[in-house]
Amino acid sequence: MTKIRIAIQKSGRLNEDSLKLLKDCGISIDNGKDQLRAAARNFPMEVFYLRNGDIPQYLRDGVVDIAIIGENVLIEKGEDISIAEKLGFSKCRVSLAMPKSKEYRAISDLQGKRIATSYPNTVKNFLKDRGVTADLHIINGSVEIAPNIGLADAICDIVSSGSTLFKNNLKEVEVMLSSEAVLAVSPKISGAGKEVLQKLQFRINSVLQARQSRYVLLNAPNEKLDTIIQILPGMRSPTVLPLAEEGWSSVHTVIKKDKFWEVIDELKSAGAEGILVCPIEKMVL
């Protein structure tokens, strides 16, 4: 079977999250320390460990068929490359920041200012759409120090928790875009490669659905069963089984992780008892 070639970030959190996703998809990677290319043991796949900023060109040239990459990198360097899946991890935002001591009222305050960034295209397009012109200083590396050494009046960078900005006495003034890891596809992927990609996407979707859901088991008095079932947003409808104790039933269902506490509170108020919540490893719809 044709092997699909996937690029992932060489190091860092996105590397770790990407490898975990592949592992959760049941794909075992035979890679040693500092290896830049590795084969999967039980799936037709080769993994290329590349610098994040280089991945869009590798996709464009067809050196790799797919990649797990930050959406922000594609917006900056690969807007012509299609996205097959948004993966829901490695979330961040690309923001403009200024020293805390400087007053900021509106985007027009950046007119004619010096902005240090490693995302020049993103900044240029964002400012152009708002009628603002600025002097961009392209820096590959840590840009947070630029205002402190007089190199720039503001910066554009990735923000996750905001702790790096805080440490450098900076404040976030504009969020230009929100980003997460995505599965990107080369425009030169072969027909056989697309077939393997479909198999991979099936596994990925099963894992992502499971990550977003929780399996719930509870006991309910039969006289309150209808009310409790109406609260539960099951995949189709909850499974209801009689308990050994007369007048009681066991209810099983799946709920979305982001609705968890809201639903649990309603269930308790409706008379549910013995509520058990379990993570789900895979979920095939």
Residues 79, 111, single domain; the answer is no
Q: Is residue 233 in a domain?
A: yes
Q: Scanning the structure block, which residue is given the tokens 């007089």?
A: 150
Q: How confident is the model at residue 13 (pLDDT cuts 50, 70, 90)?
A: confident
The answer, yes or no, to whether residue 248 has pLDDT greater than 70, is yes
Residues 46, 174, single domain; the answer is no
Residues 170, 248, single domain; the answer is no
Residues 202, 126, single domain; the answer is no
Residues 86, 205, single domain; the answer is yes
Residues 101, 228, single domain; the answer is no
Q: How far apart are CA 119 and CA 127, in angstroms?
A: 12
Residues 25, 134, single domain; the answer is no
The answer, yes or no, to whether residue 172 has pLDDT greater than 90, is yes
Q: Which of 162, 179, 196 is the last residue of a domain?
A: 179
Residues 86, 185, single domain; the answer is yes
The answer, yes or no, to whether residue 114 has pLDDT greater than 70, is yes
Helix (H, G, I), strand (E, B) or coil at 276: strand
Q: How confident is the model at residue 235 (pLDDT cuts 50, 70, 90)?
A: low
User: pLDDT value at position 107?
Assistant: 95
Q: How far apart are CA 186 and CA 6, in angstroms?
A: 10
User: pLDDT value at position 238?
Assistant: 87
Residues 84, 184, single domain; the answer is yes
DSSP H helices, the chain, are: 13-24, 55-61, 71-77, 120-129, 163-167, 191-211, 225-231, 260-269
The answer, yes or no, to whether residue 32 has pLDDT greater than 70, is no
User: pLDDT value at position 127?
Assistant: 96
Residues 68, 16, single domain; the answer is yes
Averaged over 120-126, what is the pLDDT? 95
User: pLDDT value at position 161?
Assistant: 83
Q: Is residue 193 in a domain?
A: yes
Q: How confident is the model at residue 106 (pLDDT cuts 50, 70, 90)?
A: very high
Q: How confident is the model at residue 234 (pLDDT cuts 50, 70, 90)?
A: low
Percent of the chain with pLDDT over 70: 97
Q: How confident is the model at residue 218 (pLDDT cuts 50, 70, 90)?
A: very high
Q: Is residue 27 in a domain?
A: yes
Residues 18, 97, single domain; the answer is no
Q: How confident is the model at residue 30 (pLDDT cuts 50, 70, 90)?
A: confident
Mean pLDDT for the chain?
A: 91
Q: How far apart are CA 43 and CA 28, in angstroms?
A: 8
Residue 246: which CATH number? 3.30.70.120
Helix (H, G, I), strand (E, B) or coil at 267: helix
Q: Is residue 284 in a domain?
A: no
Q: Is residue 20 in a domain?
A: yes
Q: How many domains does the chain have?
A: 3
pTM: 0.86
User: pLDDT value at position 232?
Assistant: 84
Q: Is residue 237 in a domain?
A: yes
Residues 175, 96, single domain; the answer is yes
Q: Is residue 285 in a domain?
A: no
C-alpha dihedral (265, 268, 270, 275), degrees to nearest 10: 120
Range of the domain at 191: 4-90+180-210
Q: Is residue 118 in a domain?
A: yes
Averaged over 9-28, what is the pLDDT? 92
User: pLDDT value at position 257?
Assistant: 86
Residue 170: which CATH number? 3.40.190.10
The answer, yes or no, to whether residue 191 has pLDDT greater than 90, is yes
The answer, yes or no, to whether residue 152 has pLDDT greater than 80, is yes
The answer, yes or no, to whether residue 80 has pLDDT greater than 80, is yes
